[in-house]
A = this chain, B = another copy of it.
Amino acid sequence: MEGMVVCAANYVPLTPLSFLERAAFVYGDRVSIVFGDTRYSWKQTRQRCIKLASALSLLGIIPGDIVVAMAPNIPELYELHFAVPMAGAVLCPLNTKLNATALSLKLEQLEAKAIFVDYQYIEVMQEALGILSSKKVNPQFLILIQDKSNPNDDQRLDYDKLLATGKDDFKAIYPKSECNPISICYTSGSTGQPKGVIYSHRATYLYSLGESLRLGATRKTVFLWTVDMFRCNGWCFPWTMAAIGGTNVCLRNVTGNVIFDSIFIHNVTHFCGAPILLRQIAEVVEKLDCNNHPRFPHQVNVTVAGAGALPEPRVLSKFESLGFVISCGYGMSEALGPVIWRTLTSSQAENSNHDPESMVKVQEGMRSLIVEGVDVRDPITMESVPADGKTIGEVMFRSNTLMLGYIKNAQGTNTAFSGDWYRTKDLGIKHPDGYIQMKDRVVDAIVVGEEIISSLEVEEVIVRHPMVLEAAVVGKPDDVLGEIPCAFVNLKEGCSVTAQDIKDFCASRHLPEIMRPKHVFFKQLPRNSTGKIQKHLLRRELFMQ
Taking Cβ atoms with an 8 Å cutoff, the residues of A that contact B are 1-12, 14, 18-19, 22, 25-28, 64, 90, 179, 181, 196, 198, 202-203, 209, 212-213, 216, 218, 243-244, 363-367, 369-370, 372-373, 397-400, 402-410, 412-414, 417, 420-422, 434
A400 adjacent to B181 (CB under 8 Å): no
Q: Is the CB of B3 within 8 A of A413?
A: yes
What would be 5 A-B contacts, judged by CB atoms less than 8 Å apart? A1-B407, A3-B198, A5-B417, A14-B400, A26-B367
Number of copies: 2
Query: Is the beta-carbon distance between B213 and A404 smaller than 8 angstroms?
Result: no
Quick one: closest B residue to A417, CB to CB?
B9
Q: How far is the CB of A270 from chain B (nearest CB, A)?
A: 15
The residue in chain B whose Cβ has the minimal distance to the Cβ of A364 is B25
What residues of B have a CB within 8 angstroms of the CB of A25 in the complex?
A: 364-365, 434
Closest Cβ neighbor of A26 among chain B residues = B365
Centre residue among A3, A27, A410 by max chain B CB count within 10 A: A3
Contacts of A367 in B (CB 8 A): 22, 26
B365 & A3 in contact (Cβ 8 Å cutoff): no
Residue of B3, B6, B363 touching A410 (CB-CB under 8 A): B3
- Are B1 and A421 within 8 A (Cβ)? no
CA distance A423 to B397 in the complex (A): 41
Pairwise interchain contact A7-B213, C-beta atoms closer than 8 A: no
In the bound complex, CA of A366 to CA of B364 (Å): 35
One of B1, B407, B420 near A9 (C-beta < 8 A): B420
Q: B403 touching A10 by the CB < 8 A rule? A: yes
Question: B179–A405 contact, CB under 8 A?
Answer: no
Bound CA–CA A420/B406 (angstroms): 36
B2 near A372 with CB under 8 A, answer: no
Indicate if the CB atoms of B1 and A409 lie closer than 8 Å: no
A334: nearest residue on chain B (CB-CB)?
B10
In contact, B406 and A3 (Cβ under 8 angstroms): yes
Q: Which residues on the B side are within 8 Å of A413 (C-beta)?
A: 3-5
Tell me whether A12 and B399 are in contact (CB under 8 A): yes
Q: B364 touching A9 by the CB < 8 A rule?
A: no
- Provide the residues of chain B in CB contact with A410, threshold 8 Å: 2-3, 5
Asked if B12 contacts A405 (CB within 8 A), the reply is no
Q: Report which residue of A18, A196, A372 has the largest number of chain B beta carbons within 10 angstroms of its beta carbon.
A: A372
A1 interface neighbour in B28, B90, B373, Cβ under 8 Å: B90
Contact indicator B409/A3 (Cβ below 8 Å): yes
Closest B residue to A208 by beta carbon equals B369
Complex interface: chain B residues within 8 A of A181 (CB): 1, 4
| Pairwise interchain contact A198-B1, C-beta atoms closer than 8 A | yes
New A-B contacts (15) at CB < 8 Å, excluding given A1-B64, A14-B400, A26-B366: A1-B198, A3-B404, A3-B405, A3-B406, A5-B405, A5-B413, A9-B397, A9-B398, A9-B402, A9-B422, A10-B417, A12-B373, A12-B399, A22-B367, A22-B369
